[in-house]
A and B are shown apart, each in its own frame.
Chain A
Amino acid sequence: AQSVSQHNHHVILSEAASLELGCNYSYGGTVNLFWYVQYPGQHLQLLLKYFSGDPLVKGIKGFEAEFIKSKFSFNLRKPSVQWSDTAEYFCAVNEGTDKLIFGTGTRLQVFP
């Protein structure tokens, strides 16, 4: 069965540190890939998405992600985090159907 793995469950950083959150998926065919963010008390919102083309995609708020097909990975990065990036981050995959599967999430805490 299709699955999505996020290996970092809880990440703690200081402001200005660099961030990389891992995401791996199990499906071997064509996939669409997403990163969502859930700020405290807010609804889930899309950070960025990959459907095809350039494997390095840029999203909102300075986030980017790289699709590496050979590694079944779609890691999220940000060069310099801010306190306002404190949130929970979810990777999601659909396999060319409308079945959208999420990972278990990574809780990011950024301290000033």
Chain B
Amino acid sequence: DGGITQSPKYLFRKEGQNVTLSCEQNLNHDAMYWYRQDPGQGLRLIYYSQIVNDFQKGDIAEGYSVSREKKESFPLTVTSAQKNPTAFYLCASSRQYSEAFFGQGTRLTVV
């Protein structure tokens, strides 16, 4: 089936550790996105990529890093510099300027 796969669904991290969230799409979309969803704050854009080997910071990029080495993949690393990493992370992809399709999300908890 075509779609966006995020893994893992739940992730626990110790303070001070980096962790990488996976996002893969087989929709042949050029654009991919990472959002963070917190209660009452909606979806806030972390990073987005319009094309392979290129990406731009969103509104809350501090403490996060991404790569876009392949069209299908857009992994997000939550670094130890992110002060409040516990959240629900959503990955999405889209054709150019079109509607985004979302994955099921990864819930990250720092313990």
Residues of B within 8 A of A (CB): 30-31, 33, 35, 40-45, 48, 50, 56, 58-59, 90, 92, 94, 96-105
Give CA–CA (A104, B39) in the complex, Å: 9
Point out the residue from B97, B101, B102 that lies within 8 Å of A32, measured CB to CB.
B97
Point out the residue from B42, B100, B104, B105 that lies within 8 Å of A100, measured CB to CB.
B100
Cβ of A97 to closest chain B Cβ, rounded Å? 7
Chain A residues with CB below 8 A from B58, complex form: 99
Give CA–CA (A11, B42) in the complex, Å: 15
A44-B90, A98-B48 given; A104·B97 CB < 8 A? no
Point out the residue from B31, B41, B43, B44 that lies within 8 Å of A98, measured CB to CB.
B31
**A102 in contact with B42 (CB, 8 Å):** yes
Cβ of A63 to closest chain B Cβ, rounded Å? 15
Q: List 18 A-B contacts (CB under 8 A).
A: A34-B99, A44-B102, A46-B101, A49-B99, A97-B50, A98-B96, A98-B97, A99-B56, A99-B58, A100-B33, A100-B94, A100-B100, A103-B42, A104-B40, A104-B41, A104-B42, A105-B40, A105-B43
**B99 in contact with A43 (CB, 8 Å):** no
Q: Which residue of A lies closest to B95 (CB)?
A: A98
Cβ of A32 to closest chain B Cβ, rounded Å? 6
Query: Does A69 lie at the interface of the complex (its beta carbon under 8 Å from any beta carbon of B)?
Result: no
**B45 in contact with A100 (CB, 8 Å):** yes
Besides A90-B43, A98-B48, A98-B50, 14 new A-B residue pairs in contact (Cβ under 8 A), listed by A number: A32-B97, A32-B98, A34-B100, A44-B43, A46-B99, A46-B101, A94-B97, A98-B94, A99-B45, A99-B56, A100-B100, A102-B42, A103-B42, A105-B43
Q: Which residues, 23 to 46 on A, are CB-close (under 8 Å) to B?
A: 32, 34, 43-46
B interface footprint on A44-86 (CB within 8 Å = 1, 0 otherwise): 1110010000000000000000000000000000000000000
Lowest 7 A-B CB distances belong to which pairs? A104-B42, A102-B43, A44-B102, A98-B31, A105-B42, A98-B50, A43-B104
Chain B residues with CB below 8 A from A92, complex form: 43, 100
A96-B97, A99-B56, A100-B94 given; A43·B43 CB < 8 A? no
